[in-house]
Amino acid sequence: MPRLALRFSTQTLLLQLGVVLLVVLLSGTVHAWLVYGRIGTEAENQALTLARTVASDPVIRSQVEAISKESGTPPAAVLAAGPIQAAAEAARSRTGALFVVVTDETGLRLAHPDRARLGERVSTDPSDALSGKEVTTRNTGTLGPSAGAKVPVYAPGSAATTPGSAATPGSAATPGSAATVVGEISVGYSMESLGQSLAEDIVPIALTAAGSLIAGVLASFLLRRRLQRLTLGLEPEEISTLVHDQVAVLQGVDDGVIGISADGRITVFNAAARRLLGMPEESGHPSPATAGTEWAGSDWTGTDWANAAVPAQLKALTQPSAHDAEAVEIVAGGRVLVANARKALHRKEDLGWVVMLRDRTELQQLTRQLDAVGTMSAALRAQRHEFANQLHTIAGFMSIGQHGQAKDYLARISATGPLKFPVQQAELLQDPYLQAFVGAKSVEAHERGVALRIGPETLVREHVTEPQDVTTVLGNLIDNAVNAAVAGSSTQRWVELELLDEPGPDGGTLHIVVADSGDGLGEVESERVFVEGFTTAEAADGGNAKAGGQGLGLALVRQLARRRGGDVRVLEPGSPGGPGAVFMATMPKVTGTPEGAPRAEPTAATERSATEPTEGHE
């Protein structure tokens, strides 16, 4: 059965406990060693002081000199009853030393705590002290391990150093010329007593170490709990897998994803979101729309969501009063986007918001194109029936022999122009695409009681090369104008369209002017009509209407035109009773001459209509 692997948080806890325990043990050991060394040094200094005191005693000096002059050493019984033994034992008893030993100039004991060892040679080398040096030692003698000192004994009357003026331990004494060393004093303190002193001092050390260990254990447990809370109980391998999956998903989808934490900071901002919102792909190079925003890495990670340069509609989705998953349409970066936000929860913990962005621009454009195609198809079906009726009429004239009437009928049909759509002055349009599209729009307008006409200044010599963008801009302006004409108070409902192309080396510029018979913008400011959410119904109601469209058309066409280097603006706001507002769109690089095709020249009908007065909007 496989061994169950410990969780990462448990491994971290055990590692921290091991480190804390190791640090506490090392600290306690070093501290105890330092304390032991300090106590030993104090014992050596105390032994040196006591040895100097005993060595300076006149009785000791005279008695040691007397014995040194004799041949041989007195018996142990005599030494035990002598003054040297009495003075040494008195000093030892008074100071608590382990031993106070006095020797002659040959190292034989004259005083010793163990009287049986009197007259014997000392167990440690006395040569340094007998040569006039003061030394401190730590060694093991007959009485056990000790820390002590050895000091020379000088003969009375010698110019020897006195206590307080003696050389430092290990250095030679500096007696006068008649200085004579007659013996030495050895004083020692038991290492066992040093151990007892250390045991007394080790209690606070142990208490400190135990307190440090408890604090370390508590801190480790708190850190473990915080780690589990921050990682949501996930293991490092699981976090690594999640990171890889997140990068693969966020960078691999076409939808924009924005993550906002519970404290209002952006945590996720994928490349699709930047692209859909028209923001720069590379970090450190914000566009004018995002200038002043703090960039982090390749996105806005860490930026305050409230201060981020994103549309206000996105921020409104994350307000506490917003409904979860409620979708809204916005215009950003020349695109129509559908955005919605969801609250993110994990085990009832608030993780913030996730905002999703989906591109509906192509769908909007495709819908508009399909509407235009459907309108054109209906118009073509009607024209087919009308054309069939005309053929039947001509065939009837021919069958009854009325050739002159048939010829006159054909002349009248030819004089109506290339289009049979209900468009006034349709012959001014030379481009087939514009003929078909405007004709289809005229059918829609005619069904609503609005006459669509071409202005006399219309002149398009080249062909449309970007029909998708032209369809979006031109179709929206015509639709808005038709709506305004229908809602207007004028009895004559009309929409006038003028188109003029301006050739260029990289493609011609198409200028579009659309006017209507409506009541104008009223009190509404010209720039407000290009704000998202504003509809033509609001303009008709003085800006108070709440219905009538999505309010995305004008905002979208302006962004689309500006993205191409052009613009859409209001030339005239109009007036109540008509004429209505006049809009002008400039579309660069949307016209050109196909290879092998000659440039269209104005026809005779165009020249004739340009010189004839027409009823139109100035």
Considering only residues 198 and 218, tell me which one the structure prediction assigns the higher pLDDT. 218
Give residue 152's pLDDT. Answer: 92
Q: Which of 108-117, 478-487, 514-523, 553-562 has the lowest mean pLDDT?
A: 553-562
CA 466 → CA 361, 374, 588, distances in Å? 16, 20, 10
Q: pLDDT tier at 416 (50, 70, 90 boundaries)?
A: low
Encode pLDDT of 152-187 as tens digits: 999 887 755 444 444 344 444 444 445 788 899 999
- How far is the C-alpha of 437 from the C-alpha of 440, rounded, in Å? 5
Give residue 538's pLDDT. Answer: 54
Tokens of 432: 């087939």
Encode pLDDT of 3-13 as tens digits: 445 666 677 77
Tokens of 327: 């979708």
Encode pLDDT of 33-71 as tens digits: 887 778 778 888 888 999 998 988 888 888 888 888 887
The share of the chain scoring above pLDDT 70, in percent, equals 74
pLDDT higher than threshold 70 for residue 285: no
Considering only residues 95 and 323, tell me which one the structure prediction assigns the higher pLDDT. 95
Give residue 607's pLDDT. Answer: 43
Instruction: Tell me which residue of 89, 93, 69 sits closest to 79, measured CA to CA.
Output: 89
Give the mean model confidence (pLDDT) for residues 106-133. Answer: 86
Give the mean model confidence (pLDDT) for residues 94-123. Answer: 87
Give the mean model confidence (pLDDT) for residues 335-362. Answer: 78
Give residue 511's pLDDT. Answer: 94
Q: Cα 290 from chain centroid?
A: 17
- The residue with tokens 């729309």 is 289
Q: Which of 354-363, 448-457, 530-539 has the lowest mean pLDDT?
A: 530-539
Dihedral, 432, 433, 437, 438 alpha carbons, nearest 10: -50
Give the mean model confidence (pLDDT) for residues 368-390. Answer: 67
Give the mean model confidence (pLDDT) for residues 383-398. Answer: 77
Q: pLDDT tier at 608 (50, 70, 90 boundaries)?
A: very low
Tokens of 192: 């066992």
388 φ/ψ angles, rounded to the nearest 5 degrees: -60, -40
Average pLDDT, the chain: 76
Give residue 523's pLDDT. Answer: 80
Give residue 596's pLDDT. Answer: 47
CB-CB contact of 397 with 403 (8 Å): yes
pLDDT higher than threshold 60 for residue 84: yes
DSSP of 227-277: HHHHTTT--HHHHHHHHHHHHHHHHH-SSEEEEE-TTSBEEEE-HHHHHHT
Give residue 605's pLDDT. Answer: 40
Encode pLDDT of 291-307 as tens digits: 333 333 345 677 888 88
Give residue 537's pLDDT. Answer: 52
Q: pLDDT tier at 609 (50, 70, 90 boundaries)?
A: very low
Q: Looking at mean pLDDT, say which of 142-146, 272-276, 277-281 comes out highest.
A: 272-276
Q: What is the three-class DSSP state of 137?
A: strand
pLDDT higher than threshold 90 for residue 513: yes
Give the mean model confidence (pLDDT) for residues 188-198. Answer: 71
Give residue 334's pLDDT. Answer: 65
- Answering whether pTM is above 0.95, one says no
Give residue 525's pLDDT. Answer: 81
Q: What is the three-class DSSP state of 121?
A: strand
Considering only residues 526 and 385, tell me which one the structure prediction assigns the higher pLDDT. 526
Q: pLDDT tier at 324 (50, 70, 90 boundaries)?
A: low
Give the mean model confidence (pLDDT) for residues 202-214. Answer: 76
Q: pLDDT tier at 586 (50, 70, 90 boundaries)?
A: very high
